[in-house]
Every structure is written in C-alpha cells, then in structure tokens.
Amino acid sequence: AQTVTQSQPEMSVQEAETVTLSCTYDTSESNYYLFWYKQPPSRQMILVIRQEAYKQQNATENRFSVNFQKAAKSFSLKISDSQLGDTAMYFCAFIFQGGSEKLVFGKGTKLTVNP
Amino acid sequence: NAGVTQTPKFRILKIGQSMTLQCTQDMNHNYMYWYRQDPGMGLKLIYYSVGAGITDKGEVPNGYNVSRSTTEDFPLRLELAAPSQTSVYFCASRTTVNTEAFFGQGTRLTVV
C-alpha cells in the first residue's frame, strides 16, 4: 500500500523568508504522480504544484518549487519569499498511474507566516 | 463553471439518524472520491469511484455507503450516525491520473 508521511506537524517562517516542507512516500511503483495541496482557513483545497515521477526536472510554479528525489522517495516543497497569504495547511499527496486510482494524502503541515 | 458542488455545507445530526451528503460535478470526470478530515488531521479516503456503476472502499469505509449511478453524482450515505463521524467531509473529482483533483467546499458534520 502506498503511504505518505509528513514529519513536520507545524512550521513557522518570517515573511519574505524561505521555508521547506518535507514529504516522504512509500511505493513499489515506478510510474506515479505527486502533489502539494494548500488548505487555507477557508477550507478550500488548492493545488500548489505537481510532479510526474518520470520527469527528472523538478517542478516549479512561481515562488513554489519541489525537490524530488525519486531514489530516496522524497518530495519536499520550497516556498520562497513567503507571504502572509501562504499561511495554511499543506498536504502532500500521491497517486500511481495504472493502479487503483486512490489519491492518498499525508497528515499535513501547518505553516504560519509571521509578519 | 460550478466544478464540484457539495450540499449541505453544515449539518448537525443526532446519534442514530441517517443522512446523505450530496456531491455533483459538471466536468465529466470519471474519478470521484470522498474524504473525511478530522480536526488537525489529514484527509482519509472513505470511498472512491472510477466511473459510473463502479465504487470501491478506501481506508475508513465503515459506517458509510456510496453509489454512482451517473457520472455527475456521487452521494455519501451515513447510516446510524455516531459521534465518531463528526468531521469535515470533502468530495473530489479528477480525470486521468496526471491531472489535479478538484475539491468541493466541504461539509461540516456534527453528530451529537
């Protein structure tokens, strides 16, 4: 079974600084996708970034980038120039292609950006 | 463009009552999911569906039932509500595996 682990229940960062959220996963599959979702206090789930396992290049979306280490099964999210609006829960998620189509989430990291 | 619509947004149930959480998507997505999110926790998969007429259990299916008679609708039924089912419920849908899952706004359910 696929599992996703986020080892940092809470983190905080000063506005304009950089923070990295960790995620590890466990799978025997080779073809899969990884996602980071953001959940602000409004409760809405928002996709931040996705990574295809077959791509070696790390995904980037504006201030958000990932460090994807396939051999280590690690998928960390780096937020640069943190903004107050980045305050939210962040969830790492996994799905493998051609399988059961289950979308599995980690327990989340609560990020607080301080002014 | 409505996306994924969940109703109701809030509900208080008494122990032993039953209810159905509605989920509708207008994006013609094949895959649909029901999750529950307990306070301070991640999302746990209750049930999911890969297409009309096909459903399967997730990691926490006990106390729930689902059906998928159409592509658009994926209702979640709670029979004999228990306090342990107090949670926020999210419905989500997606197309093929390499696209994001779209989420509804969630239903906050309290069982007293």
pLDDT tens per residue across all 112 residues of chain B = 679 999 999 999 999 999 999 999 999 999 999 999 998 788 999 999 999 999 999 999 999 999 999 999 999 999 899 999 999 999 999 987 657 899 999 999 999 9
Separation in Å, CA A5 to CA A41, B29, B91, B99: 22, 28, 22, 22
pLDDT digits (tens, 9 = 90+) for A76-94: 999 999 999 999 999 999 8
> What is the predicted pLDDT for the residue at A27?
85
> What is the predicted pLDDT for the residue at B4?
96
Residue A98: its chain B contacts at CB < 8 A? 97
Walk along chain A (115 residues) in steps of 10 and give the mean pLDDT of each run. 89 98 90 92 93 90 95 96 97 81 90 97
Please tell me the distance in Å from B77's CA to the nearest CA on chain A: 20
Select from B35, B88, B98 the Cβ nearest to the Cβ of A52.
B98
Kindly state the tokens that stand for B81: 């509500």
Q: Which residue has the tokens 């009309």?
A: B52
B31: contact with A, CB 8 A cutoff: yes
Contact criterion met (CB < 8 Å) for B90 and A97:
no
Q: Is cis: bond before B8, omega within 30 of 0? A: yes
Count of other CB atoms within 10 angstroms of residue B34: 28
Contact criterion met (CB < 8 Å) for A108 and B48:
no
Contact criterion met (CB < 8 Å) for A103 and B33:
yes
Contact criterion met (CB < 8 Å) for A43 and B88:
yes
* Run of H or E residues at A112: strand A109-114
> What is the predicted pLDDT for the residue at B85?
96
Please tell me the distance in Å from A50's CA to the nearest CA on chain B: 8
B103: contact with A, CB 8 A cutoff: yes
Residue A73, phi then psi, degrees to nearest 5: 55, 50
Contact criterion met (CB < 8 Å) for B92 and A91:
no
Q: How far apart are CA B69 and CA B74, in angstroms?
A: 8
A41: contact with B, CB 8 A cutoff: no
Give the single-character DSSP code of A25. Answer: E
> What is the predicted pLDDT for the residue at B95?
85
